[in-house]
Amino acid sequence: MNIPKTDLPRVVIIGGGFGGISLAKKLLKLKLQTVLIDKHNYHTFQPLLYQVSTSGLEPDSIAYPLRKIIRSSDCGYFRMAEVTEIDAENQLIHSNIGEISYDYLVIATGSKTNFFGNKSIEENGIWMKTVPQALNIRSLILQNLEQAVITDDPEERKALLNFVIAGAGPTGVELSGAIAELRNNIVAKDYPDLEPSEMEIHLIEGMDRVLPPMSEKSSVKAAKFLKELGVQVHLSTQVKSYDGVLVETNTDVSFRTYTFIWSAGVTGAPVKGLNASALIEKANRYEVNQFNQVNGYSNIFAIGDIAVMESEDFPKGHPMVAQPAIQQGSHLAKNIKNILNNKELEPFKYFDKGTMATVGRNRAVVDLGKINFGGFFAWFVWMFVHLWFLIGFRNRLVTFFNWVYNYVNYDKAARLIIRPYKKPYNKINESQEL
């Protein structure tokens, strides 16, 4: 990997997500060699991916170059690589660009989309975990609208104008609300040949309420907001299959659609090589102790989505959201410093800063412990928090400007098909090529 040998201890971090960069920023200030590895050369602010998918923001507003973080120290290195295996016995990791040894290894590889073994959804659906995937959704939505304008087959038109989202967690709720706003504010103006009411947005949820991880009150409010925006919510309904055209469920409801977005679950993204006892098989995540040490290893740590730290307050581990990753990253930096100074390790304690989700313009819900609120103030809080945590001053400024512009003009500036999306399996594939 062309990283100079050093007498300093070497910490290798796999993953430049929320956990990885929170840790790296702190380690870069210590007398250490810090090596950050990620398969992308940028950090992705996943909470705003849905705005890229729905033309609200350009992708470069929510991505941040990892080298810009590392360059603050002479002892910091970044390598763009996919780590393929860990050889704990020899303290080595293998990647697609070579191998590197470590004194301390931190696994911060996050999670990936979970299809629960359903091949038809994996092969034919579309999902959103990375910037390229968000751009795929943006292109697909816009391509389908363009196609709907020219088709004279009513069945085909219906499939092109039906947008179906599975999973009413924060991602599904935010996506369906944003697609509804695209219909309500943009389609009517940009596509005079289409009748906006022909465009239907269906949100399918297996549980009996939207936003299952949030309070009942927030669920009720979010469901009301979705209804106001014209999203059709189908509760206690599970998707059985999607063949590229037809979504079948466990009820008698089915949908013809060329846009089926799967946002119904994630699972850990572990790296091959550690002992079986390190991994909680069902969750595909590493079991860690209160110091983030992976079960069975003293110099291998895991943080963020990939780690399950069981405690009295969180018997199944912390929620798979950004805050535990950020807090564990920064806490682990302290513990690595403690190790180097022969001090005792300090247990991690999670500080829950609350949960929120936005449904659209002036509509959001916030749970702060036992307090919950919704509407304009919650939406304002949501925007402030997301701007605050967005990485990079430029990104904050551009995002803020975009939001103000969109708010004032009821517009979404980024509705561009830059890189057309091709579904290899979709039967309208050829005709969709633009």
Ligand X SMILES: Cc1cc2nc3c(=O)[nH]c(=O)nc-3n(C[C@H](O)[C@H](O)[C@H](O)COP(=O)(O)OP(=O)(O)OC[C@H]3O[C@@H](n4cnc5c(N)ncnc54)[C@H](O)[C@@H]3O)c2cc1C
| SS3 state at 126 | strand
Question: Alpha-carbon distance 245 to 426, whole Å?
Answer: 8
Task: Please identify, among the stretches 1-9, 11-19, 246-254, 286-294, the one whose residues bind ligand X according to the rule CB under 6 A.
Answer: 11-19
State the residue number with the nearest CB to ligand X.
17
Type of residue found at 373: F
CB-based burial, 72-108: b 16+ in 10 Å, e otherwise: ebebbbbbbbebeebebeebbbbbeeeebebbbbbbb
What is the dihedral sign for C-alpha 122, 126, 132, 134? negative
List of residues 6+ apart from 23 with CB closer than 8 A: 13, 106, 108, 303, 329, 330, 332, 333
Smallest gap from residue 428 Cβ to ligand X (A): 26
Q: Is 174 a catalytic residue?
A: yes
**Per-residue contact string for residues 56-75; x = within reach of ligand X by CB under 6 A:** --------------------
Interaction of residue 110 with ligand X, rule CB under 6 A: yes
Pick the catalytic residue from 122, 156, 174, 287: 174
Task: Please identify, among the stretches 12-20, 281-289, 292-300, 333-341, the one whose residues bind ligand X according to the rule CB under 6 A.
Answer: 12-20
Smallest gap from residue 184 Cβ to ligand X (A): 22
Interaction of residue 322 with ligand X, rule CB under 6 A: yes
Task: Report yes or no: 254 and 246 within 8 Å, Cβ to Cβ.
Answer: yes
Question: Alpha-carbon distance 273 to 88, whole Å?
Answer: 8
- Within residues 384-423, the interface with ligand X by CB under 6 A covers none
SS percent in the chain: helix, strand, coil, step 5: 35, 25, 40
Smallest gap from residue 349 Cβ to ligand X (A): 18
Could you give the C-alpha distances from 141 to 61, 131, 187, 325, 425, in angstroms and in order? 20, 16, 11, 32, 17
Partners of 371 in the β-ladder? 368
Judged by CB under 6 A, which of 12, 13, 18, 274 binds ligand X?
A: 18
Question: Alpha-carbon distance 106 to 110, whole Å?
Answer: 12
- Within residues 260-279, the interface with ligand X by CB under 6 A covers 269, 271
Interaction of residue 166 with ligand X, rule CB under 6 A: no
Phi/psi for 374 (5° steps) reads -145, 170
Smallest gap from residue 372 Cβ to ligand X (A): 16
Interaction of residue 138 with ligand X, rule CB under 6 A: no
Task: Please identify, among the stretches 9-17, 201-209, 222-230, 392-400, the one whose residues bind ligand X according to the rule CB under 6 A.
Answer: 9-17
Phi/psi for 224 (5° steps) reads -65, -45
Question: What number of chain residues touch ligand X (CB under 6 A)?
Answer: 33
Task: Please identify, among the stretches 43-51, 333-341, 362-370, 409-417, the one whose residues bind ligand X according to the rule CB under 6 A.
Answer: 43-51
Smallest gap from residue 150 Cβ to ligand X (A): 32
**Per-residue contact string for residues 21-40; x = within reach of ligand X by CB under 6 A:** ----------------xxxx
Task: Please identify, among the stretches 177-185, 220-228, 302-310, 392-400, the one whose residues bind ligand X according to the rule CB under 6 A.
Answer: 302-310
The DSSP bridge pattern shows strands 200-204 and 231-234 to be: parallel
DSSP annotation string for 204-217: E-SSSSSSTTS-HH
Smallest gap from residue 82 Cβ to ligand X (A): 4
CB-based burial, 339-376: b 16+ in 10 Å, e otherwise: bbeeeebeebebebeebbbbbbbebbbbbeeeebbbee
Judged by CB under 6 A, which of 49, 223, 233, 359 binds ligand X?
A: 49
Count helices and strands in the chain by DSSP H and E runs: 13, 25
Interaction of residue 17 with ligand X, rule CB under 6 A: yes
* Nearest CB to ligand X, comparing residues 352 and 411: 352
Interaction of residue 167 with ligand X, rule CB under 6 A: no
Smallest gap from residue 147 Cβ to ligand X (A): 26
List of residues 6+ apart from 401 with CB closer than 8 A: none
Judged by CB under 6 A, which of 56, 59, 76, 170 binds ligand X?
A: 170
The residue written with tokens 């929510």 in the block is 62
Interaction of residue 82 with ligand X, rule CB under 6 A: yes
Judged by CB under 6 A, which of 13, 166, 283, 325 binds ligand X?
A: 325
Interaction of residue 294 with ligand X, rule CB under 6 A: no
Task: Please identify, among the stretches 25-33, 108-116, 187-195, 284-292, the one whose residues bind ligand X according to the rule CB under 6 A.
Answer: 108-116
Which stretches of the chain bind ligand X, using CB under 6 A? Answer: 14-20, 37-40, 46-47, 49, 82-83, 108-110, 128-129, 170-171, 269, 271, 304-306, 320-323, 325
Q: Which residues are catalytic?
A: 174
